[in-house]
Chains A and B, each alone.
Chain A
């Protein structure tokens, strides 16, 4: 079974621009979560989607948004980029369902650098 894939792997953007990151979960997984990882803050939860609906949301400004498609693929968008948005953005998939998500499978991440 193929793992979680994320594209692009590396990205350099200028402050003020916007960016869209993509994540394809493991086949059959319906839940996709997004995390921001920085050296100082560790992994910070952005949001989680299940069956095209946002089920959970972290404490990030509205510049961070996401969506999920009917095939469970997900995208996240960051508008009006700031220098502080430079980070590794990780996507994680799980089978989802009604209960809490215990085990998540992470993709390799997208390394975003904002200059």
Chain B
């Protein structure tokens, strides 16, 4: 089956840099996604990595190492509004060619002033 591990909580101060790690075990791996969810809100898509390396989108970057079954989300210049839950999700198939998302349990990021 699939399993994903990510820290349950991370705290940091405004302006700092934080890295949220995600390790996974899966078969039929397509790629790794990250979603952000504010309290009471809907998850929103942040990034997707299918190939090894770093993808940068503004203050957020996402990294993938397929050989290590590992990825991380890097948030720079933290702002209070970044306080949210961050989910890594593996896109993988289980016999279907279409694949589906398997989510981790989420990391609660708290940014302090």
Q: Which of A45, A102, A103, A105 has the most CB of B within 10 A?
A: A102
Interface locus among A61-69, A75-83, A106-114: A106-114
A103 touches B43 (CB 8 A): no
Q: With A42-B87, A55-B96, A100-B30 as given contacts, are A90 and B43 in contact (CB-CB < 8 Å)?
A: yes
Residue B112 at the chain A interface, CB threshold 8 Å: no
Residue ID in chain B nearest A105 by CB atoms: B45
Count contacts on B: residues with CB < 8 A to the other chain: 24
Residue A17 at the chain B interface, CB threshold 8 Å: no
Contacting B at CB under 8 A, from A38-70, are: 41-45, 48, 55-56, 58
B93 touches A100 (CB 8 A): yes
Q: Which of B43, B44, B102 has the most CB of A within 10 A?
A: B43
A74 to chain B, nearest CB (A): 16
A41 touches B105 (CB 8 A): yes
Residue A18 at the chain B interface, CB threshold 8 Å: no
A92 to chain B, nearest CB (A): 8
A45 touches B42 (CB 8 A): no
Residue A11 at the chain B interface, CB threshold 8 Å: no
Interfacial chain A residues near B42, Cβ < 8 Å: 4, 90, 106-109
Contact of A102 among B31, B96, B102 (CB under 8 A): B31
- A-side residues, CB < 8 A to B, are 4, 33, 35, 41-45, 48, 55-56, 58, 90, 92, 98-109
Q: A45-B100, A102-B31 are in contact. List 14 more A-B contacts (CB 8 A).
A: A41-B105, A42-B87, A42-B104, A43-B89, A45-B102, A45-B103, A99-B98, A100-B93, A100-B98, A100-B99, A101-B99, A103-B48, A108-B42, A109-B42
In the assembled complex, 25 residue pairs joining A and B whose CB atoms fall closer than 8 Å, in A order, are A33-B100, A42-B105, A44-B103, A45-B100, A48-B98, A56-B96, A56-B100, A90-B42, A90-B43, A92-B43, A98-B98, A100-B30, A100-B93, A100-B99, A100-B100, A101-B99, A102-B31, A102-B33, A102-B91, A104-B101, A105-B45, A106-B42, A106-B43, A108-B41, A108-B42
- B-side residues, CB < 8 A to A, are 30-31, 33, 35, 41-45, 48, 87, 89, 91, 93, 96, 98-106
